[in-house]
Structures are given as C-alpha cells and as structure tokens.
Amino acid sequence: MPTAPEPNPAGRRERNKSDKQQRIFDAADALFAEHGYAAVTTQQIAERADVAAGTVFRYALSKSELLLMVHNQRYRRALEYAELHLPPAGQVAERLAALLTPIVHFGRLNDENTAAYGQAMLFGSSHEPYRTEALQLMDRLQQRVAEVLATGWALQHAGSPGQPALPAPDAAPAARAIYAVLLFASIQATHTDVSVEHELAGILSQVDVISRGYLHPAPAHNATSASELHDSV
Amino acid sequence: MPTAPEPNPAGRRERNKSDKQQRIFDAADALFAEHGYAAVTTQQIAERADVAAGTVFRYALSKSELLLMVHNQRYRRALEYAELHLPPAGQVAERLAALLTPIVHFGRLNDENTAAYGQAMLFGSSHEPYRTEALQLMDRLQQRVAEVLATGWALQHAGSPGQPALPAPDAAPAARAIYAVLLFASIQATHTDVSVEHELAGILSQVDVISRGYLHPAPAHNATSASELHDSV
DNA sequence: CCGCAAAAAGGAGTACAATCATAAATGAGT
DNA sequence: ACTCATTTATGATTGTACTCCTTTTTGCGG
C-alpha cells in the first residue's frame, strides 16, 4: 500500500541506499501480516523490497529474524499500550490482568505469527540482534509485572507499625513464572481453538496462584540469590 | 549422477519388513545422540537404517517427529525414575524438588536435543502422532505435580476439626504453571552457560512461589475448567 | 500357481533458506 | 579526476527436508 514498487530494472542501484533497510522491513511486515510467516518466502520479500535474494540476509541473519524485526515493533506498541492503561493502584490481581490482557489479545490478532515469534525468541541464535531486542521486550514486561507485585506487597504490609517494614521480597522469580505461563499459553492457543476469553481465564488463574504465592509471607526461606539467573548472552 | 548405485544389491529387499520401524528408530536415536539433532540429516538416518530417503517419512511425518519418537522414550524413562524416587510424604517443596530434579538433570544430558524436543512439542503439527505422545508425557508430569500439591493441601488443612474438610482446590493451574516454568527454564538454559545447580535453583525458586500460592487459602475463585485446554485435532 | 488389487518402498524431483564468490558502489587520499 | 581499499549488493549455487509418481511386494481368491 505505501510503496508501490514497480519493477524498475534500471533504478535499483541508483536508489537511495539508506532506505533499503526500510524497504525490506516494510515488505516483510506487509507479507507476513497478509499471508502469515510460513507462507511467505524470503524470495518474495526480496522481490517486494526490490533487492536481490541474498541482500535480505545482510539485514537479517535468517528468515525468522525478519519476523523478529517486524514483530518487535508491533509487540512494543502492545506493551506500551498495556503500560499506559495499567491502573496506578488497586488490587494486584486486577492490575496484573490489566497489564496482561492487551498482550494476550494482541497475540491473538495473528496467532500464527505470534507463535513463530515466540519460537524465534526461544530458539533463535544468540547472534541475532533482533532476538536480543525481543528478549529486552520480554524483560521489560517482566519488569512491569515485578513492579506490580512489589507494589502490592508494600501496600499489604504497610499497616503494621510494630514491624520495622521488612523489605519486599524479590519479585523476579514470580514475574518470570508469570511470563513463562503467558508464553506457554499463547503458544498452546495456536494449536487449539479456545476462545481468547478462555485462554485469558486460564492464564489469569495461573497468574493468580503465582501472585498469591508472592504476596503470601514466605516461611523464612533461604533466599537463593536469584538475581544471578539472568540471560547472559 | 545418472542412475542410483546399488549399495547392497541383494540385501535390502529381502530383509524382514516388520523391523524397518525399529531400524529407523535405532538409526535416528544413535545419530541424534552422537551428533546432535541439527547436525544429522534425514538422508543419514535413511542410510544407517538401510532404507530409501523417502521411506523415513512413512514412519515419521518430519525430521522433528523422528526426534519426538526417540526422545519420548528417553524422557519417559526419566519421568519413571522421577516418579519412582518421589518420597511418599513430606514437605511439598521437597517433594516437588525431588520430582523435578531428575527431569532437569536429564534435560542437561544433551541440551541441544532437549531444546529441539521442546520445540517439536510446542510448535509441531497436531497431525504428528509422536507429538501427541509427547504431550501425554507432559500431562503425566503435570499430573504428578498436581498430586503432590493436592496431597500437601490436604495435610495442611487436616488438623481443623471445626471445618467440614473443605475440598482441595484444583491444582491444575498451579501444575501447569510449574510445567511452563520448567520448560521455559530448560530452553533458556541452552542459550546460556548456567550450571545445572543454578538452573535448578532458579526453577525451584519459581516453583516455591507457585506452590505457596496454591497452598495459601484462595479467595474463592471461579475454577475455570482447565481440562478443555487440550490440543483437539 | 496365477492374476490382481492394495499397501509399502523406492528414489529422483522440488522448494526454499541460506551461502559465497564475484561485482558494483563508495569514499578517502592525493 | 584517478587510484585503490573497504563496504555493500548480487544472484547463481548449494544443502537438505520433504513430496510424488513409479515400482515392488504382499496377500488373497480362484
């Protein structure tokens, strides 16, 4: 729709070089959105972007990285929307639901591509820059989840003047578990025909368990420093 | 190369036909174990099994299903070991650790294949019989986890003679969350160089949160029947 | 034993992601 | 403007999973 790439045999080389990246991005984005990841060939993307087949792989290391490239942007928008509409206060369960619901719905817009995106994120090579970007978005969502949890903990343990405000426990494990649940459920959803509502209900019931576990006073556990468990690539 | 060379002119056709499946299984198992999933070609498997290239795909729909086929067996053994060594009683956290530790260690024996196995399970086609088998093993582990949780709940809420023994809540969401955490961590581990101990500690810290959430008296939740979330094709 | 239909196996062929040797473009130094 | 080194683009080629039409084998009724 925006660029109408007429096969201009003489023009290619003379074109502005710096927008080649943009042409490839747009081509991949449009084709994946229209036909779905699996049905699109890298050849088609190259043709639509009006570059040679091999050129595509100078801007992304693999077909799946092309998907990461275009889907990161879409995912980021969904995440920003979720962050924006997160109520600044309230029950933990409701705030988490508010945060996750847009993400789940977004995933359902094109569930084939969402599954492929998850696959590229989970199984892609560490050398792929766009995968790194995707992992950062993943971290960012976990961060938001952790904040909601920690805030909830602080509120819950605020009204005891006797206690010297024992610090909130590390919310990272709970946030990570919630993310795992979200991802797992999203992928499962592509293989079944559950409704979004059903999927969301399943996710939230798991999230509920996890957030209760976080908020529940822990029985003086050996806090195995979980901060070292980060992806170190 | 005009015509096919006759590698073994007399032998192939006259062999016992019914063990072809077994030959293919053995060939795939050995080659995957020795060289790793990615480095093995279906051609190699065919050669080692002494069948034609196309024949392999009459016994498995895809290369990844070959992996599911052979890895299911290995995984089942690990699961049986874990079930066997599960202490019949004790703290929930310890029993869950006993259940999951062998699985995590097993995954580390050949983490490349384990990741590929997870990938085949999560993203494979619903028409693949061996994937269905893998999903059943997944369910079985979740079942064991759920049992440990439910048993723990029963013990914890046993000593109140006043209450008319309110029934244990559905442990399925917690079990699913624990499985998601396990799978997610296993896959992550292949991209990092964390030690098994570290990986396990990370998993158990998440499992702890989840099991505490399950055991903690829930605020009367709508138990969305999670049994319908199954792959239905 | 002999057709003969159905099932199984064969292996050349296909599609496609990804590579790589070559070629073109670029720009810095003079 | 002219080299020449470096960066970038090209597209034919390759490796490989998977398909598809053909051939072989099998089992069965006469």
How far apart (Å, rounded) are the C-alpha atoms in residues B152 and B174? 13
Q: Which nucleotides of D are covered by protein (CB under 7 A)?
A: 8-13, 15-21, 24-26
In a shared domain, residues B156 and B73: yes
Contacts B184 to A, Cβ<8 Å: 176, 179-180, 183-184
pLDDT at B19 (0 to 100): 83
How far apart (Å, rounded) are the C-alpha atoms in residues B46 and A221? 53
Give, in Å, how far the C1' of C17 lies from the CA of A52.
14
In a shared domain, residues B103 and B212: yes
Q: Does B26 touch chain A (CB under 8 A)?
A: no
Tell me whether residues A213 and B209 touch, CB distance under 8 A.
yes
- Contact criterion met (CB below 8 Å) for A148 and A95: yes
How far apart (Å, rounded) are the C-alpha atoms in residues B84 and B230? 27
Residue at shortest CA–C1' distance from D24: B13
pLDDT at A223 (0 to 100): 42
Q: Does B233 touch chain A (CB under 8 A)?
A: yes
- A38 CB and strand C closer than 7 A: no
Alpha helices in chain B (DSSP H): 20-35, 42-49, 63-84, 92-109, 111-123, 129-156, 172-191, 196-215
**pLDDT tens digits for range A193-217:** 999 999 999 999 999 999 999 998 7
In a shared domain, residues A10 and A112: no
For residue B10, pLDDT beyond 60: no
Report CA-CA distances (Å) from B130 to B45, B66, B67, B68: 18, 8, 9, 6
Report CA-CA distances (Å) from A76 to A70, A80, A114: 10, 6, 13
Is A225 contained in some domain?
no
Is B5 contained in some domain?
no
- Contact criterion met (CB below 8 Å) for B72 and B130: yes
Which of A209, A222, A230 is the best substitution to test chain B (most B C-beta atoms within 10 A)? Answer: A209
In a shared domain, residues A5 and A95: no
In a shared domain, residues B54 and B95: no
Q: How far apart are the first and last CA of chain A?
A: 38
- Give the residue carrying structure tokens 């957030």: A211
pLDDT at B5 (0 to 100): 35
How far apart (Å, rounded) are the C-alpha atoms in residues B156 and B91? 10
What is Dmax (Cα atoms) for chain B? 86
Could you give the percent of chain A with pLDDT greater than 70?
82
In a shared domain, residues A91 and A51: no
Could you give the percent of chain B with pLDDT greater than 90?
78
User: How much is the average pLDDT of A107-130?
Assistant: 97
In a shared domain, residues A199 and A98: yes
For residue B161, pLDDT beyond 50: yes
Q: Taking the CB of residue B54, how many other CB atoms lie within 10 A of it?
A: 9
In a shared domain, residues B173 and B77: yes
User: How much is the average pLDDT of A105-113?
Assistant: 96
Could you give the percent of chain B with pLDDT greater than 70?
82
- Give the residue carrying structure tokens 């086609």: B125
Q: How confident is the model at residue A168 (pLDDT cuts 50, 70, 90)?
A: confident
CATH number for the domain spanning A38: value is 1.10.10.60
- Domain hosting B86: range is 61-218
pLDDT at B218 (0 to 100): 64
In a shared domain, residues A164 and A66: yes
Q: Does B132 touch chain A (CB under 8 A)?
A: no
pLDDT at B16 (0 to 100): 60
Lowest pLDDT segment from A26-40, A160-174, B71-85: A160-174
In a shared domain, residues B136 and B23: no
Of A107, A109, A133, A105, the C-alpha closest to A121 is: A133
**pLDDT tens digits for range A125-148:** 999 999 999 999 999 999 999 999
**pLDDT tens digits for range B13-50:** 445 666 899 999 999 999 999 999 999 999 999 999 99
In a shared domain, residues B67 and B82: yes
Tell me whether residues A119 and B122 touch, CB distance under 8 A.
yes
In a shared domain, residues A41 and A73: no
- pTM summary value: 0.89
pLDDT at B165 (0 to 100): 64
pLDDT at A232 (0 to 100): 41
pLDDT at A166 (0 to 100): 74
- A64 CB and strand C closer than 7 A: yes
- Contact criterion met (CB below 8 Å) for B181 and A176: yes
Q: Which of A183, A194, A198 lies closest to B184 in CB terms?
A: A183
- Contact criterion met (CB below 8 Å) for B127 and B66: no
CATH number for the domain spanning B92: value is 1.10.357.10
Give, in Å, how far the C1' of D1 lies from the CA of A34.
50
